[in-house]
Amino acid sequence: MGNVETTRGGAENSNPLSNQNLPPKAHSSTLQSTMPVHSHPVTQDYKISRQVLGVGINGKVVECHNRKTGTKFALKVLRDVPKARREVELHYMASEHRHIVKIFDVYENTYNGVKCLLVVMECMEGGELFSRIQERAQSAFTEREGAEIMYDICCAVQYLHRMNIAHRDIKPENLLYSTKGSSGVLKLTDFGFAKRTDATAIRPLETPCYTPYYAAPEVLGPEKYDKSCDMWSIGVVMYILLCGFPPFYSAHGLPMSPGMKTRIRSGQYVFPSPEWDRVSEAAKDVIRGLLKTDPSERLTIDQVMAHKWITHYMKVPETPLFTPAVLNEERMQWSEMQDEMEKTLASMRVGNEDIHIKSLKESNNKLLNKRMKKEKK
């Protein structure tokens, strides 16, 4: 989907940005004192491919190769504006974590009179989280595996929150595997909406940046909000991970209908049968704590990490889940729903009411139809 922005490669190479104690080289400038930025052309060091890997929030991502080693990387191209600089700064600050996509190089170049930032990142060749699970349709995906995945995601978020960084766009499309196969590492990417938070302020973030299905109640209105909106998104991701469908959906066509806003604001969701019959109460307890409508009552990342379902994930029951079958059955519809959510999010960001959003009713989405039928019963 549209948020693929990195690729795996070059883990064995030294990171030119890793030594933060040295002053920038003469040919470099700095976005921050800790992050050197090269001013010479990126093409001196990397061979740029025309292969587009995806489009992130603020720019496209193409494949590139290190000229000396031949190692494959991903190159994100951003127009050099304050928002892009914030994205790169925050991503770089966090990129040493195992479960956050790594930045290797940053360049300031000008193309056709336009100043750009070019960010060289590891190449995430293992695909998106849910695509990986879809491929497991013929084999069991257990609750224990789901708990381990949530542990990895929460480790990354805990790292961010302890640095007073809110990601603000946590969703399955931004969770990618480094490689195919069992050795792949799950990592969080796309810091286009990330923002520093003031630890002394109460709910300091103000700009609503979100994807509808993962949006916290306070993000849907003018109220201020903070890192707790990330926790809500984690709750929605966890819900989908354990059953294959989202807890909130539109009953009237559009991805973000008034009815859907009401559901989110009032915390209206259920654990329907049969998908949730075998899921442990411990898992449901985590979700209930994350999907609290009042941010002050919502679990913090440290509380989630201390919960037995996360802390002792290797002891979670190996109960087979419906997730792969549901995701695989609705493969085409799920992809279309993701695309429609992205279009809705884009219209919300720019405030352009003229953008046409295809109705989910028009798309004949089987997954949502199934959920609505169960709701009527």
**Binding-site annotation, residues for ATP:** 76
Q: Please give the angle made by the CA atoms of 67, 37 and 110, to the nearest 5 degrees.
A: 80
What's CA 140's distance to the chain center, in Å?
A: 25
What's CA 180's distance to the chain center, in Å?
A: 19
Is the four-CA dihedral 350, 353, 354, 355 of positive or negative sign?
positive
Does 169 qualify as catalytic in the annotation?
Answer: yes
Say which DSSP state 249 is in. -
**d(C-alpha 71, C-alpha 12), whole Å:** 10
**Three-class secondary structure of residue 97 per DSSP:** coil
**d(C-alpha 255, C-alpha 65), whole Å:** 39
**d(C-alpha 368, C-alpha 8), whole Å:** 34
* Binding site, annotated residues: 76
Q: For residues 140-160, b (16+ Cβ closer than 10 Å) or e, as one string?
A: ebebbbbbbbbbbbbbbbbbb
Q: Which of 80, 105, 152, 169 is catalytic?
A: 169
Name the token pair of 211: 């994807």
Give the position of tokens 């700064």.
89
Name the token pair of 221: 């209105």
111 phi and psi angles, rounded to 5 deg? -125, 125
Q: Please give the angle made by the CA atoms of 211, 216 and 218, to the nearest 5 degrees.
A: 120
What's CA 370's distance to the chain center, in Å?
A: 26
Task: List, as one string, the DSSP characters of 173-188.
Answer: GGEEESSSSTT--EEE
Helices then strands, counting H and E runs in the chain, come out as 12, 12
**What residues act catalytically?**
169
